[in-house]
Amino acid sequence: MSKTESLQGSLDLLVLKILSRRPGLHGYAIMTAIQILTEDVLRVEEGSLYPALHRMEEAGWVRARWITKDTGRRARLYELTRAGQRRLAAEESRWQAVSLAIDRVMRMA
Amino acid sequence: MSWVSRVVNVFRGDRLNREIDEELQSHLEEAREAGRDPAEARDALGSRLRLREASRDVRLVAWLDSLRADAVFGWRQLLKRKLTSAVAILSLALGIGACTSAFRLIDALLLRPLPVSDPGQLYALARQVVDFDGKLHSSGDWAYPDFELMRKAAGGQAELIAVSYADRTDLTFGSDEEMEKAYRQYVSGYMFSSFGLRPAAGRLFTAADDAKPAAAPYAVISYNYWASRFGRDPRVVGRTFRIGDKLYQIVGVAPDGFTGTEPGTMIDIFLPVMMHPGVLHSDWEWMRTLARIKPETAMEPLRARLDATSRAFEEERAKGFSGMPKEEIELFLRQKLVIQKAGAGASDLQDNFRVSLAVLGALVALVLLIACANVANLMTAQAEARAREMALRVSIGAGRRRLIQLVLVESSWMALFAAALGAAFAWWSAPLAVGMLSPPEDPTRLFLPMDGRVLSFGLVLTVVVMLLMGCAPALRASAVRPASTLKGGENPRSRRRLMHALIAVQAAFCFLVLFVSGLFVATFQHLSHQPTGFSATGVLTLETVASQPQLPAIWDQVTEHLRQVPGVESVSLASAALMSGSSWNNFISVNGAPPNSILAYMLSASPGWLDTLKIPLLEGRDFLATDAYPGAAIVNQTFARTYFGSQDPVGKPFVVIFGQGQQLKFQVVGLVGDVTYRDAREPILPQTYFPFHQIDARGALQPLAHGTFIVRTSGANPMALASLLRREVPRARPGFRVSNIRTQTSINESHTVRERLLARLGLFFGLVALLLAAVGLFGMLDYSVIQRRKEIGIRMAIGAQPGDIAWRVIASVLTMVVAGAGVGLALGFAVARYVQSLLYQVKPTDLAMLAAPTVTIFAAAILAALPPVLRAVKIDPAQTLRSE
């Protein structure tokens, strides 16, 4: 792992957000999307992505389906559910509140 | 979606694994296509096994999954050892089944609330008195006039309800030839509304049916009777039937499930209490008094008020007791009224069997505990064989909790199978046990549902059994120390200590069961071999009714006719059969002295009655055809001793004093041997027999409507003649009808029904307990011989004698058996006083009572120890030591 920030608790938020913009991504694509969008600042620990996706699936925020690609391999694509959209909204506003608060502290100091 | 899918995923675990693997694989492929180095991508992803586990845990219910895995594993373990598993399951099944069966019986008879509204508010009134010998007598018998007074005294606080004892009666919907039997109960009309019952058809009784005596010739039939006798025909309402000379009209059907207030008897026909012939008699106690008492009522003031009312009634009545000894009157008036809970109804069967069933329940519970100890020992022994497996599990990271779960799941497999088999056993055996509660001609009819109550009992029992047999091995397994076990030698002593303790427990319980059942068997032996003074074998008794009272000469004609029937040796006539339950007693006065306080018991009999029953005539003569009542009397030895002392009674006069002050004179014409009048348990009663022919004050012979023919047959089975005799009676004289035929033997045996039940079931469970304990001991010894093969081999190699070896093998176990038997003995003495009331001429401290279980247990122990000991002394040291 290079000098990139670990995602800690915000992995759910990023995954939900990305899936809300671009439904039907597989795990690898989600991971790449995070790296590209954050310009490599944030990097997903590849191992922790799948348990997180499966957890969100069990929670009913995302749903998955299998497709067969042109190469003949199967891939598992994820997309947001209604519950996932509500969750995303909640997570987003929570995140904004937190980052605003941190921002305020930074400016004061 | 979530928890359902997670539960579902538990049962499609393989597919889940494949999907997760495939997804991870697809991730790596993507990485390769993106130009990354495959090895680097694999490293970045991390351990796929760990990832799979992490994903699995979020996608299914982890504990359920581990449970499923353990269940599969436990099932395989069970199959691996088919024989031992089968033995374990069978013994547990027997225990669980017997316990459930006992519960069904106890619940149905004693606990189950009557199907009425608020059964918790239902009580029964009884009277108790401590007699001069310090014995407590309790009676629930009441006279209707007394009841009426108490009902008024209770006011608004309690509603008193009169219900007669259930009885079996003859009735007919057509002619006399179509007589049939039905169970009847007289009840207060308002009972139905008070119980919140609604008719299934027609109407039920109301308070209007209680208005005045003999004015409401109506009947309500039970749903059960409606279904079985009439196929639920709604036209039954309005039909009439006849009991004796009274006609009744059916007005309605009681709701399904309500079969009267006497558990053990299912009522067919309810009649208004006002139709009972005793309703105006102050001295005729033929009914119970039930009470519905509101929950907030203060009991003691209510009780005191009822007590005072009833006492005033009895004091008034006692003024008319001329001729009754003073102390008897005093005892009679000392009775105290008590209010007892009766939510489950009130019946004699309950009183008779309350203690017996509790004791039997305790016995089967002990048998179940023995079976549990057995299986626990078995599993502990097997845990030894699996110690390495357990150690391995611990060392690769299985938690202790998981190991406990593993063993408990295995034991719940066994408990589950045992419960299923046990349920079948209970289903089959409970009705069988009910059949043993009463003599065959008057069977107990008990509603025995397999409902929620029984099921929840079975369920709780199964869980308890699972924990009892699984806990010890589970804790053992979880306490395994991998370091020493995997090295190959955990100290086996600690394991053996547990097994030894279980052996001691088994021996103690086994002793207790054998001891108590020994008491019951001895009681039954004593009672059934108690001499009755007359010969019952081959004797039939025919209770006979004449549609119109007939003169004695007509009865004699029928007697004569029956004598001509082939296979009949002799026939005589009596007012009732001996020991049949009918009883007639009065006080006796000799030489004008005040009456003796001892009651004399009476029976009328025709000439030849002594011969038919082979009662020895000691002095004087039998009745002659010319003898009549009142006048001649035959007395037994106890009568002679009681009232005439050492004098020769023959030729002496005595006076019988009747309750209303009437006195009749008799002269003794014969002295006969003592016979049992009522019950073999009580001492021989003073008895006097009177001629069957009765004359009134003017000397005219009196017609009679009832009599019992006593018939001695020559064949081995008197019942073979029953149907022939039943036909011959009306042929001899139209209008005569046999209402009941019983052999004298079955009458005698009906008094020992409870003792027979206790002896039979006690013996059965005693044997089962012994068998289980022996099997347990055998298993334990066999295991320890295998365990100590090495040690025994070394000992033999350095010169130990077979005797030493045998002693070494059994010494510790024998000690445990001795210790257990000692504890069992102490327990036996402790519980003996609880069963004292069920015993007859048996003292728990008798040497024979103690010797029998002791000898049996040690004989069984030695027998069980024999094969393992033989195996031990046959060990070939060379071979054993080489193989290690």
How close, in Å, is residue A1 to chain B by CA atoms?
9
pLDDT at B164: 94
Over residues B514-531, mean pLDDT: 91
For B883, residues 6+ apart whose C-beta sits below 8 A from its C-beta are none
Confidence of residue A3 (pLDDT cuts 50, 70, 90): very low
Q: What is the pLDDT of residues A22-31, one digit of tens each?
A: 888 898 899 8
Q: Tally the C-alpha atoms within 13 A of residue A77's C-alpha that lie toward its C-beta.
A: 12
A81 touches chain B (CB under 8 A): no
Q: Is the pLDDT of residue B1 over 60?
A: no
Query: How far apart are alpha carbons B348 and B448 in whole angstroms?
Result: 18
- Strand extents, DSSP E, chain A: 25-26, 62-68, 74-80
Interval B780-822: pLDDT, tens: 888 788 778 888 888 888 888 888 888 888 888 888 889 999 9
Average pLDDT estimate for B2-30: 81
| Predicted local confidence at residue B187, as pLDDT | 95
Residues 6+ apart with CB under 8 A from B81: B382
- Rounded Cα–Cα distance for residues B757 and B434 (Å): 10
Helix H segments across B178-222? Answer: 191-194
Please tell me the predicted confidence (pLDDT) of residue B32.
86
Q: Say if the Cβ atoms of B59 and A57 lie within 8 Å.
A: yes
Mean of pLDDT values over B674-701: 89
Using an 8 Å CB-CB cutoff, list chain A residues near B19. Answer: 76
Instruction: Say how many C-beta atoms besides its own lie within 10 A of residue B34's C-beta.
Output: 10
Inter-chain touch B34–A32, beta carbons under 8 Å: yes
Where on the phi/psi map is residue B59: left (φ > 0), alpha (ψ -120 to 50), or beta?
alpha
Q: Any idea what DSSP says for residue B616?
A: P
- Residue of chain B whose Cα is closest to the Cα of A71: B29
- Nearest C-alpha of chain A: how many angstroms from B22? 8
Q: What is the pLDDT of residues B479-520, one digit of tens each?
A: 777 766 666 555 556 667 777 888 899 999 999 999 999 999
**B 48-107 near A (Cβ less than 8 A):** 50-51, 54-55, 58-59
B204 touches chain A (CB under 8 A): no
**Alpha carbon distance B708, B692 (integer Å):** 11
Taking residue B416's Cβ as centre, other Cβ atoms within 10 Å add up to: 13
How many C-alpha atoms does B340 have within 13 Å on its Cβ side?
A: 19
Does A60 contact B58 at a Cβ distance shorter than 8 Å? no
Contact B22 A74 (CB under 8 A): yes
- pLDDT for A2: 37
B37 contact A CB<8A: no
What's the pLDDT tens digit per position in B615-632? 999 999 999 988 888 889
Confidence band for B883, pLDDT divided at 50, 70 and 90: low
Chain pair A-B, CB pairs under 8 angstroms: 59
* Cα–Cα distance, B393 to B404 (Å, whole number): 12
* Chain B residues lying within 8 Å of A67, measured CB to CB: none
Q: Tell me which of B446 and B712 has the higher pLDDT.
A: B712
Using a CB–CB cutoff of 8 Å, tell me whether B43 touches chain A.
Answer: no
* Candidates B19, B41, B51; nearest CB to A51: B51
Shortest CA gap B106–chain A (Å)? 50
Residues of A in contact with B21 (CB under 8 A): none
ipTM: 0.86
Q: Is the pLDDT of residue B254 over 80?
A: yes
- What pLDDT is recorded for position B324? 67
Distance CA B716, CA B737 (A): 25
B628 neighbors B549 (Cβ within 8 angstroms): no
pLDDT in tens, B64-101: 888 888 888 888 888 887 877 888 888 889 889 999 99
- Given a contact cutoff of 8 angstroms between Cβ atoms, the answer to whether B345 and B165 are in contact is no
CB-CB neighbors (< 8 A) of B41 in chain A? 46
- Pair of tokens at residue B741: 């035929």
Distance from CA of A58 to the nearest CA of B (A): 5
Contact assessment for residue B581 and residue B748, using Cβ atoms and an 8 Å cutoff:
no
Give which of B320, B350, B305 is closest to B166, Cα–Cα: B350
**pLDDT band, very low/low/confident/very high, at A4 (cuts 50, 70, 90):** very low
DSSP secondary structure string, B331-393? HHHT-EEEEEE-TT---HHHHHHHHHHHHHHHHHHHHHHHHHHHHHHHHHHHHHHTHHHHHHH
The pLDDT value given to residue B381: 76
Nearest to A58 among B6, B22, B47 (CB): B6
- pLDDT given for residue B48 in this prediction: 78
Beta-bridge mates of residue B605: B574, B691
* Domains parsed from chain A with CATH numbers: 8-108 (1.10.10.10)
Neighbour count for residue B383 (Cβ, 10 Å) = 19
Encoded tokens for B745: 């033997």
More confident residue, B323 or B478: B478
3-class secondary structure, B264: strand
Chain B partners within 8 Å of A54 (Cβ): 20, 55, 58-59
Residue B290 token pair = 């039930």
Distance from C-alpha of B729 to C-alpha of B541, rounded to nearest angstrom: 13
Lowest mean pLDDT among A71-85, B192-206, B390-404, B629-643: B390-404
Would you place residue B16 in the very low, low, confident or very high pLDDT band (cuts 50, 70, 90)? confident
What residues 24-63 of chain A have any CB closer than 8 A to a CB of chain B?
A: 26-29, 32, 46-47, 50-51, 54-55, 57-60
Q: Cβ separation of B59 and A29 shorter than 8 Å? A: no
Q: Which residue of A has its CA nearest to B32?
A: A28
Average pLDDT over residues B223-227: 94
Nearest to B58 among A47, A58, A60 (CB): A58
B55 neighbors A54 (Cβ within 8 angstroms): yes
Which tokens sit at B714? 């020559």
pLDDT tens track for A20-53: 988 888 988 998 888 888 877 777 778 888 888 8
- Chain B residues whose CB is inside 8 A of the A29 CB are 30
Q: Determine the distance in angstroms separating the CA of A101 from the nearest CA of chain B, rounded to an integer.
A: 33
B535 C-beta neighbours (distance < 10 Å), count: 14
Check CB contact under 8 Å for B2 and A58.
Answer: yes
Nearest to B271 by CA among B236, B245, B246, B292: B246
Interchain contact, B59 vs A54, CB within 8 Å: yes
Percent of chain B surpassing pLDDT 70: 97
Question: pLDDT value at position B845?
Answer: 82
**Which residues in chain A have their CB less than 8 angstroms from residue B45's CB?**
46-47
| Range among A55-59, B272-276, B545-549, B578-582 with highest mean pLDDT value | B272-276
* Stretch among B6-15, B752-761, B852-861 having the lowest mean pLDDT: B6-15
Please write the tens of the pLDDT for every residue from B709-721: 999 999 888 888 8
* Tokens (6 digits) for B223: 């749903």
CB atoms A58 and B44 under 8 Å: no
Min CA distance, A108 vs chain B (Å)? 40
Mean pLDDT, range B377-395, rounded to an integer:
76
Q: What is the pLDDT of residues B837-853, one digit of tens each?
A: 888 888 888 888 888 88
Is A67 an 8 Å CB contact of chain B? Answer: no
Contacts of B2 (CB under 8 A, 6+ apart): A58, A59, A60
Token duo for residue B482 = 């991998």
Nearest to A51 among B6, B19, B55 (CB): B55
Put simply, the answer to whether B44 touches A46 (Cβ < 8 Å) is: yes
* B382 φ/ψ angles, rounded to the nearest 5 degrees: -70, -30
Q: Which of B25, B26, B53, B64 to mutate to test the interface with A (most CBs of A within 10 A)?
A: B26
Interface test with A, best of B47, B51, B65 (most A CBs within 10 A): B51
Residue B382 has pLDDT above 80, yes or no: no
Q: Which of B22, B26, B58 sits opposite A55 (nearest CB)?
A: B58
Average pLDDT over residues B461-480: 80
Residue B37, pLDDT score:
87
Q: What's the mean per-residue pLDDT of chain B?
A: 87
Q: In angstroms, rounded to a whole number, what is the distance separating the alpha carbons of residues B67 and A19?
A: 36
Put simply, the answer to whether B55 touches A59 (Cβ < 8 Å) is no
What confidence tens digit (pLDDT) does each residue in B181-194 have? 899 999 999 999 99
Tens-digit pLDDT profile for residues B131-147: 777 788 888 899 999 99
pLDDT above 90 covers a percentage of chain B that reads 37
Residue contact A76–B59, C-beta within 8 A: no
**pLDDT over 60 (residue B690):** yes
Q: Does the pLDDT of residue A5 top 70, yes or no? A: no
